Structure 1
Amino acid sequence: MKQQEGKKVLLYCRVSTDEQAKEGVSLDEQRTRLKAYCVAMGWKVEIEEIIDDGYSAKDIDRPGLKRLLSQVEKGTVSRVLVTKLDRLSRRLLDLLKLIDLFGQHEVSFVSTSESFDTETPSGRLTLQVLGAVAEFERERIRERVIDNMAHAAKSGKWLTQHPYGYRLVEKELVVHEREAIVVRRIYDMFLDQGMGYFAIAKQLNEEGISSRQGKEWSIRSVKLVLTNPVYKGTLVWNRTDSSKKKRKQKEEGEWIMLPGALPAIVSEEKWDKVQEKINDKPKVPSRAKTSPHLLGGLLKCGKCGASMTISWSGWPKRHRVYRCSAYKNKGTCESKPYRADEVEKWFVEGLKNLVDSVEHRVREVVISQVEEEKSQKKEQKLRAAKLRYERKVEAYTAGLIELSDLVEEKSRLDEELRKEQDSGSDIDEVVVNQVINELKEKCANFIDSIGVLPVPELKQRLLLIVDRVVLLGEKEIEISLVV
């Protein structure tokens, strides 16, 4: 075919970092072959070299390729030459998109090693076949890498960059004690002091404590520390599917989980309590956290249920009062205002009385919640076992595993079913007593802190134990605890 007049030929050469030392793919070798091909074809036109040095062909985000496509779209190119198909791309979808773009601008694509030209039907067919083979091989390489990584993960090897609080020594995590102290403190601040992500980050930044790589703490970095199972010594891998642009979490049955495979920084019990608080955190109004008054955002009117807000009363000596917002804003409630210092005094006295009788009053509630939590954990474990068995059935049907593997998985499922049937509804008294004792301890800590800590810090402790406060009348207060 005749070379289009006034248009040039682009010679595209590429090597990735791991290919630089391999024979036959060096940039000089590619240039030599492509120029020789042009001479053999008798093309006496302008020839331009475009180089991508050190770039993989897994995608088309390469500076040289972008420059090539820009020239194609401008209409100044007649042909694009490569020594081999995978120099342009290893993904069939990307290849077809590029070839389609070349076709739209009447640019032919030539691979000298595979001896085809996309201007011919046979060349286009060969291109698609070779592209499919190239993508298939790349996926096989990816599967082998994943299998090797899965084997390493099951052996307790750490496969990525070390998290805060650890260092990586010969692919194994070791505790970095200086940072581990900060991790334990973050868990205590969140669980025992009632501080949120923002408050924790602010406190650490004010103290000049840096996070990873000397950066400041943020809401996200604090949450990552509080939710990463590595800190309780559990290795979790293969949780997300990263093969596509948008990462998606996989089913739990596909996860690789190895409890006790790593050195722990916090106890498993404390880590689990943090997750429960994160997932089942009561919805506290924002004003309950930010109000400078002890019961601000918590106190409700006993007559209409509306929130009671702080106002000022008296002259010339003013004092704080809690007033029903429905009366204040709408005039629809007959509740009178109450002096704030008196209401807060009644609340503290009521809380002290409640602490003395907390075991008797909340025992039934605690038992109910322990039963519900136990049931949810059993259901979750059984669902994961059923999912694993279903995947083994699919694998056996496809001929990927032996019958013995399927039988072994069925035995594990039967064992889980048997455990569920055998486990009765007996309540673990140790767990119930532990929950009650922790609640009593938190109430006592709050009472001891009154008059010692400033109100903002006092409220953080208060929100750990109190869910709602209702002012029924003179010296009559109803207190709902967080159980």
Structure 2
Amino acid sequence: MQKQIRCAIYTRKSCEEGLEQKFNSLDAQRIAGESYVSSQQLKGWVAIEKKYDDGGYSGGNLERPGLKELFQDIEAGKIDLVVVYKIDRLSRSLLDFARIVDFFDKHKVTFVSVTESFNTADSVGRLMLNIILSFAQYERELASERIRDKVAASRKKGMWMGSRVPLGYDVKEKKLVINEKEAELVKHIFESFVELKSITAITKKLNKEGYQTKEGKEFKKGTVRGILTNATYIGFVKHKGRLYKGQHEAIVDDELWNKAKENIETRRHIAAKREPALLKGLIRCYACDASMQATHAKKKNKEYRYYVCGKHLKGRECSGKEHTIAAGEIEQLILEQIPIILNNETLMKEAFGEVNEFICETLQGIVSIWESIFPIEKQNIVKLLIKRIWLKENGLKVEISSNGLKSLVEKYEATNNPIEARGKDIEVFAQYQLKKCIGKSMVLVQEGKNHKKTNSILLKSLVRAHLWQQELNEGKYTNIKEICSVNKIACPKYVSSILQLNFLAPEIKEVILEGKQPSHVRLNNFLGTKMSLLWEEQLNVFYRQEHH
């Protein structure tokens, strides 16, 4: 009996125009593919019913849902041959097409083009495909170069080339014309900056006064800075760092522009003289998940440094109580935490998988000389180890990178022995009392030396269990297989085991959520047949002595 060849027909259309029609380009491509497959019935070709369509997606990349679904079914062994109307329906990029062909080869799948009579089952077909795709790629790159040259020439003539329309202007007949109402706002921004000399202060003022951007949104610091540095407002257009006289009218006169520019240059000079904030890019507000920005304030000829919630800084609402914290205190506290963390054997075992003799000696050596390490090196260590710091109402949650710890040991370990990466990132909670000081600033006062840690894997699994069960109850998923498919999980047994966490004793759930679980507790204790449904037995496992 002749072997049946399962054929998948893939269709693609770059733009969405016409897709709403009852019979569109995708349908035409599919009919052509089905007809071609029917003509090869004697070879055992059979078209599978499932459709792999990408309407409105470019062939310049592989980020297409229909194509991804095709790949998944090929990996699952459901397809023997792929049929397309033309080869560029599959990809317009030679590099991407080469990857696709390699993927097909790996899974023993061939490729056929209906209109170009190419079959990758033979070497001649492969050669012809590569030649045609090479010319297609050349033509595409040549067209891109022509467009870039045209844009450059138009910019030099001062023409507006259809980019984002700046506040203060409208577009009429492909030209920028002044919007009088918005132009008054632009002038107000420039004049306010000359007076206040602070982008932060202007941003807060604009939002408080009810002004909005051209898109109808509240102002952000970046938006205001962009307006103050946009040469469009003095009648110029910018292209690759150079300014050309524009064909539009200016909104801001040269005198006002130069005053604003002078203030910006002064601020940049002051910022360059300051030392970089130790925790910049690391510390975040736990309440609203916004990055905390390093700011400065001058009082009686003395400069004070703070970390301020990004949302609060922009005048937006933040549900947290601690919007501002003194930079010096929190930076000192983090520097004090580093040797404490390195000296915690339980945490280091979790981070490294196991702590051998030379790891232990290296860590102890760093701890012993910590106070004598130069400040700049301490800063480098902080940047290496810490992934993120969360400011909470009752203290700090610090996320430590296991890879950072390994790099630190390799850096200071004399024999340069490579360390096998078997551990995981760790979390440390340092409990502190937060007190008000001088109105806004928050100063951290340490309550004790007890440091708690959150088992991120256990906590994440508990949250997943609750979410999946809720989605099952609401009908978003009908079974475990659908959960696996949507979340790209290969093992249904894993999902079933996670769902079992919903039957944990309420006391255990509460302790896990608070990060107060015993150090010996692991997710594995509650997966599959290892988990008892009796709360009393669960509590016995949960609170057993660590040496048992």
TM interval, shorter chain, is 0.5 to 0.7
- Return the alpha-carbon distance in structure 1 between the equivalents of residues 206 and 139 of structure 2: 49
Q: Determine the structure 1 residue equivalent to 2:479.
A: none
- Return the alpha-carbon distance in structure 2 between the equivalents of residues 32 and 10 of structure 1: 12
Q: Determine the structure 1 residue equivalent to 2:270.
A: 283
Any residues of structure 2 matched to 1:306-455 within 5 Å, and which? none
Q: Determine the structure 1 residue equivalent to 2:245.
A: 259
The 8 Å contact of residues 16 and 54 in structure 1, kept in 2 or not, is answered as yes
Give 1:17's aligned amino acid. Answer: C
- Return the alpha-carbon distance in structure 2 between the equivalents of residues 288 and 171 of structure 1: 42
Give aligned pairs, total: 276
| Offset at residue 3 of structure 1 (A) | 8.0
Aligned to 1:152, what secondary structure does the other structure show? helix
Name whichever of 266-275 and 181-190 sits farther off: 266-275
Structure 1 residues 263 and 157, CA, compared in 2 at 3 Å: closer, same or farther? same
Structure 1 residues 56 and 263, CA, compared in 2 at 3 Å: closer, same or farther? same
| Offset at residue 289 of structure 1 (A) | 5.2
Matched, 1:182 2:185: yes
Pairwise CA RMSD: 2.9
| Offset at residue 35 of structure 1 (A) | 1.1
| Offset at residue 26 of structure 1 (A) | 2.4
The 8 Å contact of residues 288 and 297 in structure 1, kept in 2 or not, is answered as no
| Offset at residue 98 of structure 1 (A) | 1.1
Give 2:11's aligned amino acid. Answer: C
| Offset at residue 297 of structure 1 (A) | 2.7
Give 1:274's aligned amino acid. Answer: A
Q: Determine the structure 2 residue equivalent to 1:457.
A: none
Alignment match of 2:6 (pick from 2, 5, 8): 8
Give 1:96's aligned amino acid. Answer: A
- Return the alpha-carbon distance in structure 2 between the equivalents of residues 44 and 87 of structure 1: 21
Aligned to 1:297, what secondary structure does the other structure show? strand
Deviation string, structure 1 residues 224-269 (Cα, Å, up to 9, x no partner) = 10111101110113x2xxxxxxxxxxxx4xx5x3225321111234
- Return the alpha-carbon distance in structure 2 between the equivalents of residues 50 and 203 of structure 1: 53
Any residues of structure 2 matched to 1:437-476 within 5 Å, and which? none
The 8 Å contact of residues 158 and 236 in structure 2, kept in 1 or not, is answered as no
| Offset at residue 280 of structure 1 (A) | 4.2
Matched, 1:271 2:277: no
Give 1:39's aligned amino acid. Answer: S
Q: Determine the structure 2 residue equivalent to 1:34.
A: 33
**Structure possessing the higher radius of gyration over alpha carbons:** 1
| Offset at residue 164 of structure 1 (A) | 0.9
Structure 1 residues 187 and 120, CA, compared in 2 at 3 Å: closer, same or farther? same
Q: Determine the structure 2 residue equivalent to 1:297.
A: 303
Q: Determine the structure 1 residue equivalent to 2:205.
A: 203
Any residues of structure 2 matched to 1:75-94 within 5 Å, and which? 75-94=77-96
Any residues of structure 2 matched to 1:229-268 within 5 Å, and which? 229-237=231-239, 239=240, 252=241, 255=242, 257-268=243-254
Structure 1 residues 118 and 20, CA, compared in 2 at 3 Å: closer, same or farther? farther
Structure 1 residues 119 and 113, CA, compared in 2 at 3 Å: closer, same or farther? same
Matched, 1:173 2:171: no
- Return the alpha-carbon distance in structure 2 between the equivalents of residues 276 and 202 of structure 1: 22
The 8 Å contact of residues 81 and 112 in structure 1, kept in 2 or not, is answered as yes
Structure 1 residues 115 and 20, CA, compared in 2 at 3 Å: closer, same or farther? farther
| Offset at residue 161 of structure 1 (A) | 2.6
Alignment match of 1:96 (pick from 95, 98, 111): 98
Q: Determine the structure 2 residue equivalent to 1:47.
A: 48
Gaps of 5+ in 1: 240-251, 299-483
The 8 Å contact of residues 233 and 250 in structure 2, kept in 1 or not, is answered as yes
* Identity among equivalent pairs (%): 37
The 8 Å contact of residues 235 and 262 in structure 1, kept in 2 or not, is answered as no
- Return the alpha-carbon distance in structure 1 between the equivalents of residues 10 and 111 of structure 2: 11
The 8 Å contact of residues 192 and 202 in structure 2, kept in 1 or not, is answered as yes
The 8 Å contact of residues 160 and 174 in structure 2, kept in 1 or not, is answered as yes
The 8 Å contact of residues 236 and 244 in structure 2, kept in 1 or not, is answered as yes
Any residues of structure 2 matched to 1:53-64 within 5 Å, and which? 53-64=55-66
TM-score by length of 2: 0.46
Aligned to 1:235, what secondary structure does the other structure show? strand
The 8 Å contact of residues 8 and 77 in structure 1, kept in 2 or not, is answered as yes
Structure 1 residues 209 and 4, CA, compared in 2 at 3 Å: closer, same or farther? farther
Q: Determine the structure 2 residue equivalent to 1:67.
A: 69
Q: Determine the structure 2 residue equivalent to 1:426.
A: none
Deviation string, structure 1 residues 46-80 (Cα, Å, up to 9, x no partner) = 52331112222122222211211121222211111
Structure 1 residues 3 and 166, CA, compared in 2 at 3 Å: closer, same or farther? farther
Aligned to 2:46, what secondary structure does the other structure show? coil
| Offset at residue 92 of structure 1 (A) | 0.6
- Return the alpha-carbon distance in structure 2 between the equivalents of residues 3 and 276 of structure 1: 82
